[in-house]
Amino acid sequence: MVSKIIIMVLAMISLVFADTKSEVERLFQTASSGEIRFTKLVQPAKDSLAAMKDSAAKYLVSKLCTTDAREAQTLTEVYRGIGKAATAYLIAALDTDNKYQLRSASRCLAEVKDSTAVDALLKAATNSDYTVRAEALAAVGKSGGGATTAKRLEPFFNDSIYSVRKSCVYGLGNLKSLASLDLLLRALADSHFGVRLTAYDALVSFDSLAREKVAALLDTVTVAPVTGLAIRLAGQLRIHKVETKIASYLTDSNPLLRGWAVWSWGRLRGRAAAARLDELQKRESDLFVKSLLIDTRAYIDTLTSHE
Amino acid sequence: MSYRIVLSIGVFIILAFGGSVTAGDYHFPIDTINHVLNYIDIDTGDIAFRTDYVDRDSFRLKIIDELTQHPLRIPDYLKKRGDFLKDTTISVSQKYDSLEQTLGRQHRLSLLGNWQIPSEKIYPAARKAGGIVGEFADRLLKTHVGMSFAANIPLTEGLSGAESAFVADSFLTFLREEEKDINRPLEELDSLQKLGDSLAIRFKTVGPKISIANILDASRQLVSDYQQLADWLALNKKALRQIPDSLLRKYFPSFETECGSIVVGGKGNNRYEGDYAIIIDFGGDDEYYLSNKPGQRFQIIIDMAGDDHYIAQSDHCFGAGYLGCSILDDWGGDDTYMAKNYSLGCGIFGTGILVDRAGDDTYIGNIACQAASSFGVGMLLDYGGLDSYSAALYSQGFAFIMGSSALVDYSGNDRYAVGWKYGDILRYEDHYVSLSQGFGYGLRPYFSGGVGLLVDGEGNDLYNSDIFGQGASYWWSLGGLIDYSGNDQYISYQYAQGNGTHLSLGALIDISGDDLYNSKGVSQGCGHDLAFGLLLDCAGNDQYNAFDLSQAAGSANGVGMLIDLKGDDAYMARVKGNTHGYGNPRREYGSIGLLLDLSGQDFYRGYGADDSYWVTQSKWGIGADLNSVKPDTAKAKPSGK
């Protein structure tokens, strides 16, 4: 009798699991459908999967090796909805040689934002495939962990592939460790625009914490493109202590530096910059600088008197 | 053999060294581009993509890799290709060679010299008669010998019987659409997609075994034989047309060969039905109700005059090589070509060439028509007249996997229309996929695509497509549309007019004329997803209309450029936030958008303004209206960061 009950319970459990699995399959098919006719079904299917939490997270792992872009995107969105309940399954999924799975799992972990995944992601970031390294590092940056994680992320900036360096720089921007500022300033001179400009955005995200270092950079930098970025940062971060330096660039012979100095001058001085800008406008002949003068003058006009 | 060697060397020299871009309105202002990009800390050295974002498949073309790494070389590349293809002094076979070379093919010497077939039964009376009749018979015999040789080259060498059958039966599934897809239930569409995936995975194993060299050897042989026959016919046209029809019937009765029938038609109005190896028709308004017999792989049709009707009774007709090579050359008259699928200059595992030398012509087809190719060459050359081209999908300079295609129309006010049949079930309920008009297409994520070109010489032309078209591309391929002159209208809806989507390259170049560009989005110089899209208009007072993500828009790490060199232009964009030099972020960094207008009094609705620079609030974009077309003193180099 007891054995019969056990068998019945087991049978019911397997039926429930089978049902859950087929339900996940059915919902995933709908959720990853790209056709416009089924648009209204897509979001509810994604929401249902996310609401299933652990049970969906478990079964969807088998989909992580997909080569289909739409399916990969759907997984990212569903795992974002599931949240940290998915972390253990996704970490386990990183234990593979399949690069599609490694990339998808990293992308999903980036959405889950769980610092307990950092170790596994950093291990994935040593993969021989640079696309895996880039995804894993971007996920590390989004997973948090502050200065400790940032310190472990920094060595990856030596990668020869720009997209890996870009992910590293992006992660450092997210983690906001003061110790990373020197590396981010160095990244402003990277050989790839994606790294340079991501470093710029990362420094902007540090806000007031980056002011000292950027001000120091302005005193030492000699390469025009990096100087241009440093001038822009001075305005963007409102580094008032470099106003004199920026003022000197307002008459620089290089229109790139002169133009961005105008832009920053307006942001630093606000309405107080108007007179100088008007004066500059009278004798400026370079079209780029003239355009930024007009643009900055218009920006100033939008400011209220106390800004 | 020496003929082929000289031809090959000639084409190589022209392509490699003789391709200096001709003077005129065309100019690609590389230094100015660099100068403007520098203001946002980018330079021309940054306009480059890696070739290894995804696993390399067996069919990636070398030229795609080269241009992916150097997208700013695309305009000169397309101009050079366009100049060559629209040069009326260059023969059809040389143009074929240039398309074949796009496939990275190494020339192999023909073994025709050793090829022998019993020839004593082929038009013996005509050959005995001598004179022009005898010479003509000899020419036909020679052509037949070449065709027989080509037909005996094993096109599926290396494949097992089952694999050959798979290729023959299943490959076209990748280039097939059904109108009823729009009504299929979700589960059925899902299972169809999975079936497609399984076919692609199988083709991954089988495809690399296909001998593209053998396919092109066979094509080259037939093209060479066709060219010699056509040249001889042209040289002796007057004398040939003096042969009475009665004498032609006497000396040249229909003749069966192992390649099919050889038929000679007189100057009267003739009607041809069935399938043929060779048809030479001396004139008259003829009707061709032809079909493609399975296994009938090689065909040459030359019609020397008359307003002819070509009405296909099956797929693969009229200059359509499917596991073979077929050439149709019509010398004059206002002709009508009505085809089904894979026709009118379509080469799939082979070569298809359609040449129309004069007259106002009408071309109608469905899928993969009017210069389309995969594992081969598709070419349509129309030398003049007011022509109308219409098709449903994958047409008008379309190239799929290992494909090289060109639709070249030399002059006349022409109309190109594609779409309105197969619904774009992914994006819209009321729009249709086109993937045509200078379009390169790969099978994502499995196989890279080819190089598809549409070249139009003179005339005020109308280009009409819907979703994907007009110098555009998808997945490791290149699509180019180059229009040399005339006041043209380009109308599309999305992914068009100089657009690359998903790791591909697309460009539209219009060299002169007052042109009108209309498209809703992802158009007019837009690169989406690590792709490059360029719209270059060199002269004329032009009008650009778009709704969003267009007119120099980089999306998902792509690069989009709209460059207008001369004229008083109007740039109208409904959404200011993602046009006129715009880039958006993806993969934790941005894209690049650059709008450049180098002269004239211009009007902007959107971000841009006449006589100014503007740096858009995006990641990352810039525009400049400079009023200064300056010759570049040197090619721009990265600024040494």
pLDDT (tens digit, 9 = 90+) per residue, B218-277? 999 999 999 999 999 999 999 999 999 999 999 999 999 999 999 999 999 999 999 999
Partner B, chain A 240-299, Cβ-Cβ below 8 Å: 256, 259, 287-288, 290-292, 294-295
| Residues A125 and A153: beta-carbon distance below 8 Å | no
For the segment A228-240, the average pLDDT, to the nearest whole number, is 97
Q: Chain B partners of A295 at a C-beta cutoff of 8 Å? A: 614-615
Same domain for A212 and A248? no
CB–CB contact B589 A166 (8 Å):
yes
Residue B200 lies inside a defined structural domain of this protein: yes
Same domain for B273 and B318? yes
Same domain for B143 and B263? yes
Same domain for B285 and B334? yes
Tokens linked to B94: 């040389």
Percent of chain B residues topping a pLDDT of 70: 92
Same domain for A186 and A266? no
Report the gap between the CA of B103 and the closest CA in chain A (Å): 27
Residue A225: which of B41, B190, B424 has the nearest Cβ? B41
For chain B, what is the domain count?
2
pLDDT for the residue A143? 96
- CA B199/CA B167 separation, integer angstroms: 10
pLDDT tens per residue across span B321-330: 999 999 999 9
Percent of chain A residues topping a pLDDT of 90: 88
Question: What is the span of the domain harbouring residue A235?
Answer: 221-307
Report the gap between the CA of B489 and the closest CA in chain A (Å): 30
For the segment B35-56, the average pLDDT, to the nearest whole number, is 95
| Residues B399 and B375: beta-carbon distance below 8 Å | no
Residue B39: which of A34, A141, A259 has the nearest Cβ? A259
Asked whether the predicted pLDDT for residue A17 surpasses 60, the reply is: no
CB–CB contact A36 B427 (8 Å):
yes
CB–CB contact A192 B46 (8 Å):
yes
Q: Does ipTM top 0.85?
A: yes
Question: What is the span of the domain harbouring residue B279?
Answer: 112-155+211-350
The values of phi and psi at residue B509, to 5°, are -120, 125
Q: pLDDT category, B12, cuts 50, 70, 90?
A: very low
pLDDT tens per residue across span A170-192: 999 999 999 999 999 999 999 99
CB–CB contact B186 A193 (8 Å):
no
- CA A96/CA B168 separation, integer angstroms: 37
Same domain for B140 and B267? yes
CB–CB contact B186 A68 (8 Å):
no
Residue A236 CB neighbour total at 10 angstroms: 20
Q: pLDDT category, A7, cuts 50, 70, 90?
A: low
Q: pLDDT category, A37, cuts 50, 70, 90?
A: confident
Asked whether the predicted pLDDT for residue B536 surpasses 60, the reply is: yes
Residue A27 lies inside a defined structural domain of this protein: yes
Residue A283 lies inside a defined structural domain of this protein: yes
pLDDT for the residue B638? 47
Number of helices (H), then strands (E), belonging to chain A: the values are 18, 0
Residue B43 lies inside a defined structural domain of this protein: no
For chain A, what is the domain count?
3
Q: pLDDT category, B13, cuts 50, 70, 90?
A: very low
Same domain for A211 and A225? no
Residue B132 lies inside a defined structural domain of this protein: yes
In this complex, is the C-beta atom of A204 within 8 Å of any C-beta atom belonging to chain B?
Answer: no
Residue B131 CB neighbour total at 10 angstroms: 10
Q: Chain A partners of B190 at a C-beta cutoff of 8 Å? A: 29, 33
Residue A208 lies inside a defined structural domain of this protein: yes
pLDDT for the residue B24? 78
CB–CB contact B53 A131 (8 Å):
yes
Residue B37 lies inside a defined structural domain of this protein: no
Same domain for B200 and B170? yes
Residue B338 CB neighbour total at 10 angstroms: 17
| Average pLDDT score over chain B | 92
Same domain for B275 and B131? yes
pLDDT tens per residue across span B326-382: 999 999 999 999 999 999 999 999 999 999 999 999 999 999 999 999 999 999 999
Which one of B326, B350, B374 terminates a domain? B350
- Which pTM value belongs to this model? 0.93
- The number of C-beta contacts closer than 8 angstroms across A and B is 93
| Average pLDDT score over chain A | 93
Q: Chain B partners of A189 at a C-beta cutoff of 8 Å? A: 641
pLDDT tens per residue across span B97-135: 999 999 987 656 666 667 777 767 789 999 999 999 999
In this complex, is the C-beta atom of A4 within 8 Å of any C-beta atom belonging to chain B?
Answer: no
Which strand (E) or helix (H) includes residue B483? strand B478-483
Same domain for A160 and A210? yes
What's the distance, CA B245 to chain centroid? 39
Report the gap between the CA of A288 and the closest CA in chain B (Å): 6
Please, which residues have CB within 8 angstroms of residue A188's CB and are 6 or more apart in sequence?
Answer: A196, A199, A200, A203, A217, A226, A229, A230
Partner B, chain A 51-90, Cβ-Cβ below 8 Å: 67-69
Q: Chain B partners of A256 at a C-beta cutoff of 8 Å? A: 38-39
For the segment B33-48, the average pLDDT, to the nearest whole number, is 96
For the segment B301-316, the average pLDDT, to the nearest whole number, is 97
Same domain for B149 and B176? no
Same domain for B189 and B289? no
- CA B7/CA B93 separation, integer angstroms: 9
